[in-house]
Structure formats: structure tokens, C-alpha cells
């Protein structure tokens, strides 16, 4: 990095599963999508765990309880216990408990995971704005969440009840594509009330704090598919990150990433945990990784060479991020990415 700003993915001579003690793994888009395991996830995590890496599953999805998530992972062939799962519901419940009296009532707009997390903190979930709640907690409630729940939240928030959101992810991956996430639901209440919630989930500090408290990680590696939650959360927490290209982030978004959204490492999928990461070297005005050399022209990124597509993408990132730091942000990488099949 230059002056604290990342200008290209970094290298590692050791497998990441050996270089870091704990993998803080996002779930949707990283381990599974639509309930099914993503290709190579099960075998990669098994090998990382067998090599001594602690695996923790960190999700902004507040719908399910940690126990339910662990059961699902185990069914997929990834043995996990409830204590291995950290959710934004747990993070927002701790945030609320620090600001309201013990045993206070909390209006819940969401699923069972949020209710269980609130009870864990000694708070009482209620269903109506007329139940005299001390706070409103909003988390992802799944596609069946009734529209009237947003109205209930709006009534309470408009009356001045403090409003908390587990997370503000606008979208969530599913087996059929990208669906609206809790952030879209939060927008409904924001529009109706003109108010702003306190948010706990990634990329904000309450979620990172919850994760560190529950895992005891000393040298963690955040593994995710989203720049604005997983990677920014790692940036805010001052820890390293691995972006996998199995979820919502594609090559174009990665090239355009602002400094807080630039991952330490980039790989195709969770097999990246089991390998080192290739070195990117500067050659004149360009950057070389594997068989590829990338340079930033006046208006576009240029790519030359052949070999592994990911090496080309890493070289392109170095060219684009360096050019952005030098004030050349409007670079077209479309042709270069097309050549890589990305």
C-alpha cells in the first residue's frame, strides 16, 4: 500500500489458512446461495479447518438463529455449532441493551433470529407499537414478512421511539438471483418517518466488536463477496480481507473500488484460503501478475499477455487503483475484462 491506501492486491507466500488464525466468513454468496453450497466451499473449508484454522461464520442476515444456521451448515457437510455463528441480530441486540433499561420491551420487525438475540440480552420482544416499546429493532424478515410490520415500525419511530437496524444491505443473494435485503425494508420506514436508525451490522463497528468478542480472533481474515459490507467492514476493523467472486461483486465493481472497498486478496472462490497469493510487480508504467501486464492509459485499462484470468484481474486492479490515486478515476476496463472472460 502507498500512504495507507491500497493500490493493488497483496501477495502471500503462505496459504492464507496458515497465515491467519481465524476466517471470518460471510455466508450468503460465499459459503452458500439459496440454501445450496457454493462450488468448492465444503472441501475448501474442511481442509482449512483440518490445517488448524478456526472458522467463524459472520452474517448480516438476522432472520435465522445461530443454531439454525449451524444446523444448515452441518447439513451441507460443513460441521458447525451455534457458537461458530455470529449474526447482525446479536450485534444489534447488544447495541440496544447498552441503551435501554434491563428487561425493556423492544418492538421486533423481523424474524426469529432477532427475537432470540434480544432475549439473550434480557430484553422482551413485542409485536405492536402500542406495547410501549423502549426501542424498535428491524432485521431481515424473509420474503413472507407482512407489509403491516413496516407500518408498525413507522408508528413507533414517528412517536420518537429509538430505531435500530441489524444491517442495511439493500440486496441478498438467493438461488433464483438477487432479492431485496433488509436495507430495502429499512428504506420503507425511513421514507415513512424521515428518521434514521442506528445500524449494527457490517461494515460498522458494532458487528466487528461482536465478532471479536465471540471468536477471540487474534489474526483474523475477513472473507466475503461484498465490497460495501465485508470488505469495508474489514477496512473499518483494521484487518485483512479476501474477496471471493462467487457473490455480488464482479470484475467491473472491483476495478472501480474506492480505497475502503479494496480487498487485501482476491480469488475465485474459497479455494483461495488454501493457497498463497501471487505477487504483483511494477514494470515501468504497468503492473505484472503471472502472465499478464496491465497499464492505465488516458481513458482505458490495457491488458497484454495470457495465463490465469485471475492474475490478469489482479494486475488490472493494481493499474486501476494506482491510476485512481493519481486522479485518473474514469478508466474503462470493459475490453480488458472481456478478454479475461470477467
Q: How far apart are CA 238 and CA 192, in angstroms?
A: 36
Q: Locate 341 and state its grid cell.
A: 472472460
| 169 is known as an active-site residue | no
Nearest CA to 16 out of 41, 42, 52 is that of: 52
Catalytic entry in 21, 26, 267, 332? 26
Determine the 3-state secondary structure of 232 from DSSP.
helix
CB 165, CB 198: distance < 8 Å: yes
CB neighbour class for 205 (10 Å; exposed up to 12, middle 13-18, buried from 19): middle
Q: How far apart are CA 183 and CA 141, in angstroms?
A: 11
| 26 is known as an active-site residue | yes
Order across the sheet with 286-289: list the strands: 281-283, 286-289, 292-296, 301-305
Catalytic entry in 3, 28, 169, 332? 28
Q: How far apart are CA 161 and CA 189, in angstroms?
A: 13
Alpha helices in 121-169, H assignment, sequence order: 148-158
Other CB atoms within 10 A of residue 30 CB: 26
Q: How far apart are CA 338 and CA 140, in angstroms?
A: 36
Length of the chain: 342
Give the active site residues. Answer: 26, 28
Amino acid at each position: 500500500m502507498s500512504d495507507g491506501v491500497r493500490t493493488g492486491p497483496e501477495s502471500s507466500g503462505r496459504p492464507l489458512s496458515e497465515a491467519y488464525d481465524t476466517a471470518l466468513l460471510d455466508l450468503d454468496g460465499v459459503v452458500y446461495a439459496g440454501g445450496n453450497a457454493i462450488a468448492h466451499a465444503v472441501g475448501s473449508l474442511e481442509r482449512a479447518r483440518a490445517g488448524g484454522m478456526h472458522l467463524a461464520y459472520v452474517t448480516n442476515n438476522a432472520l435465522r438463529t445461530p443454531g439454525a444456521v449451524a444446523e444448515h451448515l452441518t447439513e451441507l457437510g460443513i460441521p458447525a455449532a451455534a457458537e461458530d455463528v455470529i449474526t447482525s441480530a446479536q450485534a444489534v441486540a447488544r447495541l440496544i441493551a447498552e441503551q435501554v433499561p434491563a428487561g425493556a420491551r423492544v418492538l421486533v420487525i423481523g424474524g426469529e433470529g432477532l427475537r432470540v438475540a434480544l432475549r439473550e440480552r434480557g430484553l422482551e420482544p413485542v409485536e405492536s407499537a402500542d406495547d410501549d416499546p423502549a426501542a424498535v429493532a428491524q432485521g431481515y424478515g424473509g420474503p413472507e414478512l407482512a407489509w403491516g410490520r413496516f407500518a408498525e415500525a413507522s408508528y413507533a419511530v414517528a412517536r420518537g421511539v429509538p430505531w435500530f437496524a441489524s444491517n442495511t444491505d439493500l440486496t441478498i443473494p438467493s438461488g433464483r438471483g438477487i432479492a431485496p435485503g433488509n436495507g430495502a425494508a429499512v428504506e420503507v420506514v425511513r421514507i415513512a418517518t424521515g428518521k434514521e436508525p442506528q445500524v449494527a451490522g457490517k461494515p460498522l463497528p458494532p458487528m466487528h466488536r461482536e465478532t471479536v468478542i465471540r471468536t477471540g480472533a487474534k489474526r483474523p481474515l475477513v472473507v466475503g463477496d461484498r465490497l460495501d459490507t465485508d470488505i469495508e467492514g474489514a477496512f473499518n476493523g483494521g484487518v485483512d480481507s479476501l474477496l471471493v467472486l462467487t457473490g455480488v461483486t464482479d470484475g467491473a465493481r472491483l476495478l472501480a473500488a474506492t480505497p475502503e472497498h479494496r480487498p487485501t486478496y482476491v480469488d475465485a472462490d474459497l479455494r483461495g484460503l488454501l493457497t498463497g497469493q501471487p505477487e504483483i510487480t511494477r514494470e515501468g508504467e504497468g503492473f505484472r501478475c503471472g502472465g499478464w501486464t496491465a497499464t492505465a492509459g488516458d481513458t482505458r485499462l490495457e491488458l497484454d499477455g495470457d495465463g490465469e484470468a485471475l492474475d490478469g484481474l489482479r494486475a488490472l486492479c493494481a493499474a486501476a487503483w494506482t491510476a485512481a490515486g493519481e486522479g485518473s478515476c474514469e478508466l474503462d476496463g470493459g475490453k480488458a475484462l472481456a478478454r479475461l472472460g470477467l
